[in-house]
Amino acid sequence: MRISNSAKWVLGVITGVVLLFIYLPLLVVLANSFNANKNMVWPPPALTTDWWGKAFRSLGLWEAVATSIEVAVASTLIALVLGTLVAMALSRYKFFGRQVVSLLVVLPIALPGIVTGIALNNAFRTILGLQLTMGTVIVAHATFCVVTVYNNVMARLSRMNPNLQDASADLGAGLWTTFRLVTFPQLRSALFAGGLLAFGLSFDEIIVTTFTAGNGVVTLPIWIYNNMFRPGQAPVVNVVAVVLVLSSMIPIYFAQRVSAVQDA
Amino acid sequence: MAKKLGARSRPDTGLSSARLVSSYLFPRPKTRLALLLAAPVTWLVLIYIVALVALLVTAFWSVDSFTGEIHMTWSLDNLKQVFTQALYRTVTFRTVGIALLVTVIDLLVALPIAFFMAKIAKARSQRIMVILILMPLWASYLVKAYAWRSVLSHDGILQWLLQPFGLGTPGYGLAGIVITQAYIWLPYVILPIFAGLERVSNTLLEASSDLGAKSLTTIRLVVAPLLLPAIIAASIFSFSLTLGDYITVNIVGGPNQMLGNLVYTNVGAANNLPLASAIALVPVAIMFAYLALVRKTGALENL
């Protein structure tokens, strides 16, 4: 297929316009974090760094960050274990109900968040009679994070040479030794990528979180959501937003490095 | 190396418990499979499937309007209410309409970009563009919705940009919801289509052109059929994610409600979990219908 130069130009211009459309709102948030007007009138009448100072002194904000990290780390660790186990089972064995198990893993993320949220809320409170705490949030997050680890490990295992494991067994290694010294080293970057995705998914989640968090449990997304409607606090939310966008570059940097290592 | 080998040969002589377990499990693949599956399947079934089934069951119960306690007696009242009352029908149609509109807009925007990235851009600029599109995918969902709250505001940049032309911002409302949702889920639609296009081999496109087909004919007869599963996979993301959303609605939707808002009010303020469950079954049913519809295309393997 020969694409005419004019068609290339049109497609290129569309791509440029859409990329602008993607970044413009984020740039507005960046500009508003320095906007001296607390109602964020555009164009900014004057610039200030007050909001940045206010954000760094906000105790509630830092507590929310700590809560979010705690939840994300715990649910990622659970997802890493469960996701690896399922992937190992499904990639090595053909058995009845294999499709059902893989559907089971995907379902919590495929169904709308509000369904997962209300189902777990109902199960925790009405059926189990539990109080909602940080623990319930971790359980909920781990449930929908399993799929990211599973996908990454599954893809890696399917490319792995099974003879290596047989060779290890022939050389007298037990199952655990083979996993530790043969399988695991090959899985490491897949586990890293899957864990990173799980962490990001959990750190950013708000819908399931609102339904499974107790009263005192404020994750960062919940803090942002509670504060964006308060006139005096909304400008501080801009600062948090800018920091979040900037810190989202870190996982991309790592993901690119991991894939570059794999390509090499 | 030699040291390592020596260290590892030691357990062979002793009968450590790990070795006993290993030699028991080695000839028993079924037991090994069961052990691998035990923890994850127990977790997912006990927590998630039981919760989903319970949700289904709760939809048939009722709440005492005085005490707020749940009566575990079977009745179809909640489902009847959801299916017959005008409020629920209006909100369901509105929600599905918004989800469809968002999906169509995202596909229309994503197709040319994905095509440019996959087939026209050079390797280096392609890598940069993938990163540029991935970046906002990682950026927080709330940040993106909040960004549009600022953009759409009556004091915001859109008003300022459009005023000279005699136009104004649509403000917070249905248009705001559609724009914001289309924006938030756009990267989720671009990436699967881009991956799908990369799998369409360039030699097929050249063969089609050598046989005399014009570009549009090639796109219609060669690219489109090969790309269809990826397009459907992408549409599942934007459709499902929009269907269950209620946060964006609260941020940029003004007084409008989607199904998610009705569920949320009934869990929280109204404290009517059975009715909330009944409403929540609507998006589940729609999603299952959608998945059943597209199952035959092989799109589900593309997720």
Count other C-beta atoms under 10 Å from residue B296's C-beta: 8
Which residues sit opposite B63 in a β-bridge?
Answer: B70
Do A244 and B139 lie within an 8 Å CB cutoff? Answer: yes
DSSP state of A95: -
For residue range B154-200, list pLDDT tens digits in order.
888 898 889 889 888 888 999 999 999 999 999 889 888 998 898 88
Query: Which residues between 12 and 51 in chain A have a beta carbon less than 8 angstroms from any beta carbon of chain B?
Result: 12, 14-15, 18-19, 21-26, 28-29, 32, 39-43
Å between A179 CA and nearest CA of chain B: 12
Q: Which of B159, B162, B182 is nearest to B171 (CA)?
A: B159
Q: Domain range spanning residue A220?
A: 59-263
pLDDT of residue B202: 86
Å between B280 CA and nearest CA of chain A: 6
Residues in chain A: 264
Do A104 and B44 lie within an 8 Å CB cutoff? Answer: yes
Whether A219 has a pLDDT exceeding 70, the answer reads yes
Instruction: Name residue, tokens 């020969």.
Output: A2
pLDDT of residue A2: 67
Whether B9 has a pLDDT exceeding 50, the answer reads no
Please state, for a pLDDT cut of 70, what percent of chain A lies above it.
97
Which residues in chain B have their CB less than 8 angstroms from residue A4's CB? 215
Query: Which amino acid would we find at residue B62?
Result: S
Could you tell me the pLDDT band of residue A264, with boundaries at 50, 70 and 90? very low
Å between A47 CA and nearest CA of chain B: 16
pLDDT of residue B3: 45
User: Would you call B109 exposed, middle or buried from its count of C-beta atoms within 10 A (0-12, 13-18, 19+)?
Assistant: buried
Q: B52, A103 in Cβ contact below 8 A?
A: no
| Residue boundaries of the structural domains of chain B | 86-302
Do A207 and B245 lie within an 8 Å CB cutoff? Answer: yes
Question: What span, in angstroms and rounded, lies between the C-alpha atoms of B120 and A78?
Answer: 42
Count other C-beta atoms under 10 Å from residue B113's C-beta: 25
Question: What span, in angstroms and rounded, lies between the C-alpha atoms of A193 and A254?
Answer: 8
Whether B124 has a pLDDT exceeding 90, the answer reads no
User: Read out DSSP for B195-259?
Assistant: HHHHHS-HHHHHHHHHTT--HHHHIIIIIHHHHHHHHHHHHHHHHHHHHT--HHHHHHSTT---H
What H or E segment, with its residue span, contains residue A71? helix A59-92
For residue range B47-69, list pLDDT tens digits in order.
999 999 988 888 888 777 666 67
For residue range A248-257, list pLDDT tens digits in order.
877 777 777 7
Whether A44 has a pLDDT exceeding 60, the answer reads yes
- Exposure of B99 in the CB half-sphere (CA atoms within 13 A): 27
Assess A155–B contact: CB distance below 8 Å, yes or no: no
Average pLDDT, chain A: 88
Which residues in chain A have their CB less than 8 angstroms from residue B99's CB? none
Has residue A9 been placed in a domain? no
Query: Which residues between 101 and 120 in chain A have a beta carbon less than 8 angstroms from any beta carbon of chain B?
Result: 101, 104-108, 110-116, 118-120
- Which are the contacts of A65, defined by CB distance < 8 A and separation ≥ 6? A220
pLDDT of residue B123: 82
Question: What span, in angstroms and rounded, lies between the C-alpha atoms of B48 and A105?
Answer: 10
Nearest chain B residue to A246, by CA? B139
Å between B43 CA and nearest CA of chain A: 8
pLDDT of residue B183: 93
Has residue A145 been placed in a domain? yes
The CATH number given to whatever domain includes residue A247 is 1.10.3720.10
- Exposure of B76 in the CB half-sphere (CA atoms within 13 A): 3
For residue range B237-277, list pLDDT tens digits in order.
899 889 988 999 999 998 999 999 999 888 877 778 889 98
Superfamily of domain B86-302: MetI-like (1.10.3720.10)
Has residue A65 been placed in a domain? yes
Whether A92 has a pLDDT exceeding 50, the answer reads yes
Among B12, B15, B26, B36, the residue to mutate for chain A (most A Cβ within 10 A)? B36
Do B247 and A206 lie within an 8 Å CB cutoff? Answer: yes
pLDDT of residue B4: 45
- Which are the contacts of A45, defined by CB distance < 8 A and separation ≥ 6? A36, A37
Å between B191 CA and nearest CA of chain A: 14
Rg (CA), chain B: 27
Whether A114 has a pLDDT exceeding 80, the answer reads yes
Whether B289 has a pLDDT exceeding 60, the answer reads yes
Whether B2 has a pLDDT exceeding 50, the answer reads no
Among B45, B63, B116, the residue to mutate for chain A (most A Cβ within 10 A)? B116
Which residues sit opposite B87 in a β-bridge?
Answer: none
Sign, Cα dihedral of A210, A214, A220, A222: positive
Closest partner residue to A118 (CB to CB) among B18, B33, B277 is B277
Query: Which amino acid would we find at residue B270?
Result: A
Sign, Cα dihedral of B213, B215, B220, B225: positive
Assess A164–B contact: CB distance below 8 Å, yes or no: no
Q: What is the mean pLDDT of the segment spanning B85-94?
A: 92
Average pLDDT, chain B: 85
Interface size A-B, in CB pairs within 8 Å, comes to 273
Å between A177 CA and nearest CA of chain B: 9
Assess A127–B contact: CB distance below 8 Å, yes or no: yes
Residues in chain B: 303
Please state, for a pLDDT cut of 90, what percent of chain A lies above it.
37
